[in-house]
């Protein structure tokens, strides 16, 4: 029997502390003081009669007992979120919803066609699309506020507890506005002469870009700004001499229409898998299965 002393606030605090790896950041996200969140964690450890977290200068880490408890705590939070979603759906007169996270490359290139296909296959379902960086979307998936995420596979440590099904491969592009000065002599080592729009920390492509630049002898790029915003990147690059390093899918339409120009660099080393991410502890709903069909139909038409 579940110990009735365990409250949702105990579970919520524990999950958030582990997610942030910091008591301070977790307290800020939950609008609590540090003494309050520390007290809550102490209560939880007393109830379960085990140390769940250890604190050191390096930050927060889980004990063996903490690793086990976290697995079920995250499942509990996800299950509660699904229950709240179900109540919300009933309030919408029975209309179901499907919450999908899309990384920038997928949001720009694939999702418009997938959304149309899904609407035709499942008109009774409201499709909710969220975009953003890999880490943010995967955390939302893990906590149950997203049903699935579609995009590039992340680093191994970010994919723990996530099931990945590959759909196709994608590489990174270096793009500029038409008429950019570098087009007269497109050499990779010259990109540091201009402002570079660089993948943000935590983005799926950043480690690939860093490896590519190192292997090609390109040192640090001090004149850069970092973002995963496709909307900003498109507008800024078209109206400046910036060089944008971004997943091919984000700029596929702009390149095809001549609004941006691809630099002729061999970036095949940056190729990586794009696919569907789900929680392994849940059974795909009817809506998720139909969404998968919509994705496959669109991929077939695009020949990706």
User: Going residue by residue through the chain (304 aa), what tens digit of pLDDT does each one get?
Assistant: 566 788 888 888 888 888 888 888 888 888 889 888 999 989 988 988 899 988 887 778 889 888 888 877 877 777 776 666 666 655 555 568 899 999 888 888 889 999 999 999 999 899 999 988 888 898 899 888 899 999 988 878 788 889 999 999 999 999 999 999 999 999 999 999 999 999 988 788 899 999 999 999 998 898 999 998 888 999 999 999 999 999 998 998 899 999 999 999 999 999 989 999 999 877 888 899 999 999 999 998 887 6
Map out the domains of the chain with their CATH numbers. 8-75 (1.10.10.10), 95-170+273-302 (3.40.190.10), 172-270 (3.40.190.10)
Hunting for tokens 């939950």 — which residue is that? 30
Residue partners of 231: CB distance under 8 A and separation at least 6: none
Q: Is the dihedral of CA 74, 80, 83, 85 positive or negative?
A: negative
In this prediction, residue 237 carries a pLDDT of 97
**pTM value?**
0.64
| Pairing verdict, β 59-62 and 224-226 | unpaired
In this prediction, residue 259 carries a pLDDT of 95
Q: How far is CA 280 from CA 72, 136, 165, 276, 284, in A?
A: 13, 18, 11, 12, 9
In this prediction, residue 114 carries a pLDDT of 94
Instruction: Say how far apart CA 22 and CA 199 lie, in whole Å.
Output: 24
In this prediction, residue 225 carries a pLDDT of 95
Instruction: Say how far apart CA 262 and CA 174 lie, in whole Å.
Output: 6
Q: How far is CA 168 from CA 39, 249, 269, in A?
A: 47, 11, 15
In this prediction, residue 164 carries a pLDDT of 93
């Amino acid at each position: 029997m579940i110990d009735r002393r365990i409250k949702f606030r105990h579970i919520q605090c524990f999950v958030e502390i582990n997610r942030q790896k910091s008591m301070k950041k977790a307290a800020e996200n939950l609008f609590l003081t540090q003494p309050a969140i520390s007290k809550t964690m102490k209560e939880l450890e007393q109830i379960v009669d085990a140390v769940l977290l250890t604190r050191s200068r390096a930050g927060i880490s889980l004990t063996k007992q903490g690793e086990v408890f976290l697995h079920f705590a995250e499942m509990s939070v996800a299950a509660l979120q699904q229950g709240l979603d179900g109540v919300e759906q009933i309030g919408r007169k029975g209309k179901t919803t499907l919450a999908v996270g899309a990384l920038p490359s997928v949001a720009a290139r694939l999702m418009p066609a997938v959304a149309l296909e899904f609407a035709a296959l499942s008109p009774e379902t409201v499709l909710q699309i969220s975009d953003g960086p890999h880490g943010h979307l995967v955390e939302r998936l893990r906590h149950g506020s997203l049903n699935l995420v579609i995009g590039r596979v992340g680093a191994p440590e970010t994919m723990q507890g996530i099931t990945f099904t590959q759909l196709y491969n994608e590489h990174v592009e270096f793009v500029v506005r038409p008429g950019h000065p570098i087009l007269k002599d497109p050499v990779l080592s010259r990109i540091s002469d201009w402002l570079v729009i660089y993948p943000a920390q935590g983005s799926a492509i950043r480690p690939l870009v860093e490896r590519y630049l190192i292997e090609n002898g390109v040192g640090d790029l001090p004149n850069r700004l970092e973002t995963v915003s496709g909307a900003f990147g498109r507008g800024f690059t078209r109206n400046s001499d910036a060089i944008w390093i971004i997943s091919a899918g984000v700029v596929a339409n702009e390149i095809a229409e001549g609004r941006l120009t691809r630099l002729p660099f061999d970036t095949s080393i940056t190729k990586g898998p794009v696919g569907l991410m789900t929680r392994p502890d849940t059974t795909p709903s009817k809506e998720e299965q139909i969404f998968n069909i919509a994705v496959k139909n669109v991929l077939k038409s695009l020949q990706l």
